[in-house]
């Protein structure tokens, strides 16, 4: 039976007023600041300071209300707390910790908004966002943020596993026309591998600029419109060709011919209807589990490929 893991204390002293992290007399860098330095330097460009302050105050208020519910079962009656409770109930999220501080013990630290226990050794991590709109850039920043949290979480809790990463997108702010901007959703994010997160931290520590492997190279980005035009042209051509082939096949079937050759040398060959027999390996294994199938299996190398969707 697996032993229940209790989350380790980082030993980091967090000052919420100054938003600083201190460990053994040394101040550590927060992850939000790291991401702004390295990957999202223009996140708040051209946004008035007053707007940023209002958004920060609202976000802090929602965070505190949800934390009060988790720690003391205080329900302040706001729509945001009701939505938080409903999301946790709907997705079977069992609260384990709020504002849980994680660190690499030397240079970086940050607070994870929500840690949910899944099993004795498995946890889900979530970040609570109160944005008015979840833009692709904000979603990508949250993905980096949560992925680094997961890396530090597992570093700090050696036998624990961060399973899923979520954004809790909660908002119920009144607009100028009197209506409410009401958002309540749980957004799963795909975790960035820990080795990439570690490379980001190491690069920042060296004072260098990190090059994200997810950034689209400029030479590819400049071809976007041309690629789009080629795909649309290909689809149109294939649709037209499919119609022509259908007409030719119908005519050949009506005349009962198998081959035509055009004046220009194009060979038109009609394939007759047939049946295909294949082995239902899943069913065979189910009916005869005593057979060692590995000795009959053959591996074939399949080349990698690229899929483009528009």
**Per-residue exposure over 10-25, b if at least 16 CB sit within 10 Å of its own CB, e if not:** bebebeeeeeebebee
Over residues 125-143, the pLDDT tens digits come to 999 999 988 999 999 999 9
Statement to judge: residues 137 and 32 lie in one domain? yes
Give the C-alpha distances (Å, rounded to integers) separating 160 from 6, 80, 209, 226, 293. 9, 30, 31, 47, 36
Which has the closest alpha carbon to 170: 105, 254, 88?
88
Over residues 258-290, the pLDDT tens digits come to 999 999 999 999 999 899 898 898 898 899 989
* pLDDT at residue 1 tops 80: no
* pLDDT at residue 199 tops 90: yes
For the residues 225-236, what does the mean pLDDT come to? 92
pLDDT score for 175: 87
Statement to judge: residues 156 and 25 lie in one domain? yes
Residue 77 lies in a domain: yes
pLDDT score for 184: 96
Residue 280 lies in a domain: no
Containing H/E element for 184?
Answer: strand 180-189
Instruction: Quickly state the pLDDT bin for 3 (edges 50, 70, 90).
Output: confident
What percent of the chain has a predicted confidence (pLDDT) above 90?
A: 76
Residue 302 lies in a domain: no
Residue 46 lies in a domain: yes
Contact 144, 213 (CB under 8 A): no
> Measured between alpha carbons, how far is 149 from 183 in angstroms, rounded to an integer?
24
Residue 2 lies in a domain: no
Q: Which three-class secondary structure state does DSSP give residue 60?
A: helix
pLDDT score for 307: 87
For the residues 65-92, what does the mean pLDDT come to? 95
β-strands 161-174, 122-129 pairing: parallel
Which residues sit opposite 109 in a β-bridge? 30, 103
The CATH number of the domain holding residue 44 is: 3.90.320
Statement to judge: residues 61 and 120 lie in one domain? yes
The number of folded domains in the chain is 2
For tokens 């009060």, the residue is 68
Q: Where are the extended beta strands (E) located within 31-107? A: 94-103
Statement to judge: residues 208 and 259 lie in one domain? no
DSSP summary character for residue 27: E
pLDDT score for 46: 81
> Measured between alpha carbons, how far is 192 from 84 in angstroms, rounded to an integer?
26
H-assigned helices in 157-268: 194-205, 218-221, 224-255
For the residues 105-123, what does the mean pLDDT come to? 97
Instruction: Quickly state the pLDDT bin for 84 (edges 50, 70, 90).
Output: very high
Contact 162, 124 (CB under 8 A): yes
* pLDDT at residue 2 tops 80: no
Which has the closest alpha carbon to 73: 84, 57, 61?
84
Question: Taking all residues of the chain, what is their mean pLDDT, rounded to a whole number?
Answer: 93
Q: Which domain holds residue 164?
A: 13-215
Statement to judge: residues 148 and 123 lie in one domain? yes
Which has the closest alpha carbon to 103: 18, 27, 5?
27
Taking the model in full, what pTM does it have?
A: 0.78
Statement to judge: residues 99 and 238 lie in one domain? no
β-strands 180-189, 259-261 pairing: unpaired
């Amino acid at each position: 039976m697996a032993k229940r893991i209790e989350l380790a204390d980082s030993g980091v002293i967090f000052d919420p007023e100054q938003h600083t992290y201190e460990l053994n007399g040394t101040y550590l860098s927060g992850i939000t600041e790291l991401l702004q330095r390295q990957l999202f330097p223009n996140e708040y460009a051209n946004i008035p300071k007053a707007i940023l302050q209002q958004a920060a105050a609202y976000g802090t208020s929602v965070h505190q209300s949800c934390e009060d519910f988790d720690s003391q079962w205080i329900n302040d009656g706001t729509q945001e707390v009701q939505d938080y409770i409903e999301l946790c109930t709907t997705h079977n999220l069992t609260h384990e910790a709020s504002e849980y501080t994680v660190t690499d013990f030397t240079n970086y630290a940050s607070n994870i908004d929500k840690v949910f226990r899944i099993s004795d050794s498995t946890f889900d991590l979530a970040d609570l966002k109160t944005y008015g709109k979840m833009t692709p850039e904000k979603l990508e920043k949250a993905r980096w943020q949560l992925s680094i949290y997961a890396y530090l979480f597992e570093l700090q809790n050696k036998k624990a596993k961060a399973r899923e990463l979520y954004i809790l997108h909660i908002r119920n702010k009144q607009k100028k026309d009197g209506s409410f901007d009401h958002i309540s959703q749980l957004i799963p994010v795909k975790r960035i591998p820990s080795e990439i997160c570690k490379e980001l931290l190491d690069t920042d520590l060296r004072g260098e600029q990190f090059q994200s492997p997810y950034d689209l190279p400029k030479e590819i980005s400049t071809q976007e419109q041309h690629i789009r035009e080629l795909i649309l042209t290909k689809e149109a051509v294939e649709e037209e060709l499919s119609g022509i082939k259908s007409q030719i096949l119908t005519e050949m079937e009506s005349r009962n011919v198998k081959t035509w050759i055009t004046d220009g040398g194009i060979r038109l060959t009609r394939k007759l209807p047939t049946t295909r027999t294949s082995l239902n390996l899943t069913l065979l294994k189910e009916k005869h589990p005593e057979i060692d199938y590995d000795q009959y299996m053959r591996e074939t190398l399949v080349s990698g490929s690229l899929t483009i969707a528009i």
